[in-house]
């Protein structure tokens, strides 16, 4: 209970800091990094609903980022939605379009498991990228499409995007936390541990996995739509970027895959570092840091920062309580000698 | 009418005929033993009954409804649960969460109490794991995992439970505990079909014993009759 109160207090403090951030920091470049970081908080948290809760590591959900970006831009053109505040209402519309497209793709991919699933999702990314290049009537091909131009400019330009990105991140985190605490989340975690056993205990594994796949696609697509509006342009290699897939997975694994806090911590650490390395050093060094960080995480903290830190604190606390602990258990189990 | 009726079940894996026309019944309210030397087809039979393996021919009837070929989920929803030789629990979930996993959703057999923490804790107390309620299941010992798996299956209130070597790999004290739990649960109306190599355990616990050898049922009767059956002795002792 105490731990939950501490976590809630930390979350409230983080939200307050985030809410005042653009008011305190008026540097446009830093605000831009903050917007991208919040987008990645949302994307990594959404990715974690599938990859972390069910154990199905998707390296293709960036395709739904692109679908969201294109759906937003194309629908704004078709429905003559001008740049302005109302344009943000198109984000959930783009998300729903991507979620509907994700259903058949998820249904097919989720008939496989483990490495095969990973490979199929990678293939999806390149299929969607090829479609974006070649469906020129819809996407304008390699020339890309212009998105609506926001009606505000100057030093205020970043502010609305910052708060919408923050709102999106908070919504995704809230949804992920709700799923984790619900029966749906429990069943997704059971699938992660032993899918066949979960099936044999009455769980509709196929339906639940597909739900996680589609929910992740929906929120990642909304981030894609926000991206398209922010940079006012959508272009195949940026919209369907394999590095976005690596980023979502890396952020989740760095912070703690399968936890709520993990993807948030991962995104807050990785994205600003990425932006810094991209600007400060020669081109390509940011990719080296991706690979290097992945190696460090997998080799040294395979469970991620948050669970490792949490267990470290818990073990310290339990060591301090040892003198007060009872000498021995008296249950039927205390005589059980079978080891693991 | 038996609760479970298995008739002429056949199953092969490549060139190996694992089951060759097996037929036997499990009566409602009984503890029935399914014994036989290693490789006789007991676990394959369990997999066929619970939907993890589909037979090439034959019939499995449960509550007089044909169930062979159905998925493990559907069969579980009908009230037929099982444990595995090596316990299969959810290692990264707490014990309470493990108890909340089984579901018979979509049937009239899942009262809302199945989803409550109190219900989970009652079952943990029943198998003696209450003090570990918030422990991650992966931290349990082998014997404790067997108890947890037993509780997970029973928490969904099945009518028939298939236990695959409940006394295998655990110490004598735990075997006694397991026998006591099976007897008590059977007294509450749950029927058991038990695969086990520990003959003392089987003969003291079971009302009826089915013996398999080389994919066939070679004997079927009371524990006393089985112990003096020449075909059974021959199967176990060999030439």
Express each pLDDT in A72-94 by its tens digit: 999 999 999 998 999 999 999 99
Read off the pLDDT of each residue in A238-243 and give the average, rounded to a whole number.
91
Domain of residue B199, residue span: 4-237
What is the average pLDDT score of chain B?
A: 91
Residue A169, Cβ neighbours under 10 Å: how many? 26
* ipTM exceeding cut-off 0.85 for this assembly: yes
Q: Tell me if A193 and B90 make a contact (CB, 8 A cut-off).
A: yes
Encode pLDDT of A132-158 as tens digits.
999 999 999 999 999 999 999 888 899
**Confidence band (pLDDT; 50, 70, 90) for A333?**
very low
Q: Tell me if B128 and A192 make a contact (CB, 8 A cut-off).
A: no
Q: Please list every residue in chain A whose beta carbon sits closer than 8 Å to the beta carbon of residue B76.
A: 200-202
**Confidence band (pLDDT; 50, 70, 90) for B109?**
low
Chains A and B form CB pairs within 8 A to the count of 106
Instruction: Report the residue of chain A nearest B82, measured CA to CA.
Output: A200
Examine residue A316 and state whether it is found in any structural domain, yes or no. no
A320 and chain B in contact, CB less than 8 A: no
Q: What is the pLDDT of residue A7?
A: 78
A204 contact partners, CB below 8 Å, separation of at least 6: B73, B105
**In percent, how much of chain A has pLDDT > 90?**
71
What is the Cα B86 distance to its own chain's centre? 12
Q: Which of A193, A203, A333 sits opposite B103 (nearest CB)?
A: A203
Q: What is the pLDDT of residue A337?
A: 36
Total domain count, chain A = 1
Distance from CA of A191 to the nearest CA of B (A): 9
Q: Tell me if A338 and B77 make a contact (CB, 8 A cut-off).
A: no
Give the residue with greater pLDDT, A82 vs A337: A82
B199 and chain A in contact, CB less than 8 A: no
Q: What is the pLDDT of residue B108?
A: 63
Q: Tell me if A333 and B101 make a contact (CB, 8 A cut-off).
A: no
Domain of residue A213, residue span: 29-242
Examine residue A12 and state whether it is found in any structural domain, yes or no. no
Q: What is the pLDDT of residue B111?
A: 67
Residue B205 near residue B183 (C-beta atoms within 8 A): yes
B8 and chain A in contact, CB less than 8 A: no
- CATH number of the domain to which B200 belongs: 3.40.50.300
Residue B134 near residue B95 (C-beta atoms within 8 A): yes
Q: Tell me if A202 and B156 make a contact (CB, 8 A cut-off).
A: yes
CA–CA separation, A241 vs B229, rounded Å? 71
Examine residue A41 and state whether it is found in any structural domain, yes or no. yes
Instruction: Report the residue of chain B nearest A332, measured CA to CA.
Output: B128
Q: Which of A187, A205, A332 sits opposite B128 (nearest CB)?
A: A332
Q: Tell me if A199 and B129 make a contact (CB, 8 A cut-off).
A: no
Per-residue pLDDT at A294 exceeds 90: no
Total domain count, chain B = 1
Instruction: Report the residue of chain A nearest B180, measured CA to CA.
Output: A332
Per-residue pLDDT at A325 exceeds 60: no
Distance from CA of B14 to the nearest CA of A (A): 23
B83 contact partners, CB below 8 Å, separation of at least 6: B146, B149, B150, B153, B161, B162, B163, B164, B166
A196 and chain B in contact, CB less than 8 A: yes
A183 and chain B in contact, CB less than 8 A: yes
**Confidence band (pLDDT; 50, 70, 90) for A340?**
very low
Encode pLDDT of A179-197 as tens digits.
999 999 999 999 999 999 9
Q: Tell me if A338 and B171 make a contact (CB, 8 A cut-off).
A: yes
Encode pLDDT of B46-94 as tens digits.
999 999 999 999 999 999 999 998 999 999 999 999 999 999 999 999 9
Q: Please list every residue in chain A whose beta carbon sits closer than 8 Å to the beta carbon of residue B73.
A: 199-200, 202-205
**Confidence band (pLDDT; 50, 70, 90) for A336?**
very low
**In percent, how much of chain A has pLDDT > 70?**
93
Q: Which of B76, B90, B173 sits opposite A194 (nearest CB)?
A: B90
Encode pLDDT of B132-170 as tens digits.
999 999 999 999 999 999 999 999 999 999 999 999 888
B126 and chain A in contact, CB less than 8 A: no
Examine residue A101 and state whether it is found in any structural domain, yes or no. yes
Examine residue A141 and state whether it is found in any structural domain, yes or no. yes
Q: Which of A199, A335, A338 sits opposite B73 (nearest CB)?
A: A199
**Confidence band (pLDDT; 50, 70, 90) for A330?**
very low
**Confidence band (pLDDT; 50, 70, 90) for B11?**
very high
Examine residue A255 and state whether it is found in any structural domain, yes or no. no
Q: Please list every residue in chain A whose beta carbon sits closer than 8 Å to the beta carbon of residue B173.
A: 332, 335-337
Q: Please list every residue in chain B whose beta carbon sits closer than 8 Å to the beta carbon of residue A183.
A: 100, 103, 115
Per-residue pLDDT at A327 exceeds 50: no
Lowest mean pLDDT across A75-84, A128-137, A238-247, B107-116: B107-116
Examine residue A238 and state whether it is found in any structural domain, yes or no. yes
Q: Which of B88, B105, B129 sits opposite A197 (nearest CB)?
A: B88
Q: Please list every residue in chain B whose beta carbon sits closer than 8 Å to the beta carbon of residue A193.
A: 90-93
Examine residue A308 and state whether it is found in any structural domain, yes or no. no
Q: What is the pLDDT of residue A318?
A: 74
Q: Tell me if A338 and B73 make a contact (CB, 8 A cut-off).
A: no
């Amino acid at each position: 209970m105490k731990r939950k109160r501490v976590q809630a207090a930390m979350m409230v403090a983080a939200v307050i800091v985030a809410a005042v951030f653009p008011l305190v920091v008026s540097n446009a470049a830093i605000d831009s990094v903050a917007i991208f970081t919040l987008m990645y908080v949302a994307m990594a948290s959404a990715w974690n609903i599938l990859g972390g809760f069910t154990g199905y590591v998707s390296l293709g959900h960036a395709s739904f980022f692109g679908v969201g970006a294109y759906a937003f831009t194309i629908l704004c053109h078709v429905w003559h939605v001008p740049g302005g505040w109302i344009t943000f209402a198109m984000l959930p519309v783009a998300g729903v379009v991507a979620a509907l497209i994700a259903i058949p793709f998820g249904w097919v991919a989720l008939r496989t498991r483990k490495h095969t699933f990973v490979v199929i999702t990678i293939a999806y990314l390149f299929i969607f990228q090829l479609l974006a290049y070649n469906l020129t009537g819809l996407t304008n091909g390699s020339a890309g499409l212009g998105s609506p131009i926001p009606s505000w400019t100057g030093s205020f330009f970043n502010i609305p995007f910052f708060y919408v990105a923050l709102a999106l991140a908070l919504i995704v985190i809230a949804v992920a936390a709700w799923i984790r605490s619900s029966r749906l989340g429990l069943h997704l975690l059971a699938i992660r541990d032993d899918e066949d056993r979960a099936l044999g205990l009455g769980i509709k594994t196929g339906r639940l996995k597909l739900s996680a796949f589609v929910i992740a696609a929906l929120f990642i697509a909304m981030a894609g739509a926000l991206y398209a509006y922010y940079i006012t342009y959508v272009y195949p290699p940026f919209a369907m970027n394999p590095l976005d897939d690596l980023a979502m997975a890396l952020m989740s694994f760095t912070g703690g895959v399968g936890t709520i806090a993990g993807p948030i911590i991962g995104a807050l650490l990785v994205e600003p570092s990425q932006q810094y390395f991209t600007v400060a050093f020669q081109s390509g060094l940011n990719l080296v840091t991706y690979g290097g960080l992945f190696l460090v995480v997998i080799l040294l903290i395979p469970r991620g920062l948050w669970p490792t830190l949490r267990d470290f604190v818990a073990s310290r606390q339990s060591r301090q309580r040892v003198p007060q602990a009872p000498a021995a258990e008296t249950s039927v189990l205390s005589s059980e000698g079978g080891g693991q | 009418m038996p609760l479970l009726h298995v008739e002429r079940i056949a199953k092969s894996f490549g060139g190996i005929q694992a089951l060759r026309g097996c037929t036997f019944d499990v009566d409602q309210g009984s503890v029935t033993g399914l014994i036989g030397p290693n490789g006789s087809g007991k676990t394959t039979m369990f997999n066929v009954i619970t939907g993890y393996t589909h037979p090439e021919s034959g019939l499995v009837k449960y509550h007089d409804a044909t169930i062979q070929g159905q998925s493990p989920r559907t069969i579980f929803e009908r009230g037929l649960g099982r444990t595995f030789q090596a316990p299969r629990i959810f290692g990264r979930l707490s014990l309470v969460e493990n108890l909340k996993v089984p579901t018979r959703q979509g049937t009239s057999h899942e009262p809302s109490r199945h989803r409550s923490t109190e219900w989970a804790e009652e079952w943990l107390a029943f198998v003696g794991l209450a003090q570990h309620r918030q422990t991650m299941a992966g931290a349990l010992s082998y014997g404790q995992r067997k108890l947890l798996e037993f509780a997970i299956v029973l928490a969904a209130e099945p009518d028939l439970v298939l236990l695959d070597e409940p006394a295998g790999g655990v110490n004598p004290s735990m075997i006694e505990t397991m026998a006591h739990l099976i007897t008590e649960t059977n007294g509450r109306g749950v029927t058991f079909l038990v695969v086990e190599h520990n003959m003392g355990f089987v003969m003291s616990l079971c009302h009826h014993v089915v013996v398999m050898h080389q994919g066939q049922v070679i004997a079927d009767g009371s524990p006393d009759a089985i112990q003096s059956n020449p075909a059974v002795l021959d199967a176990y002792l060999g030439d």
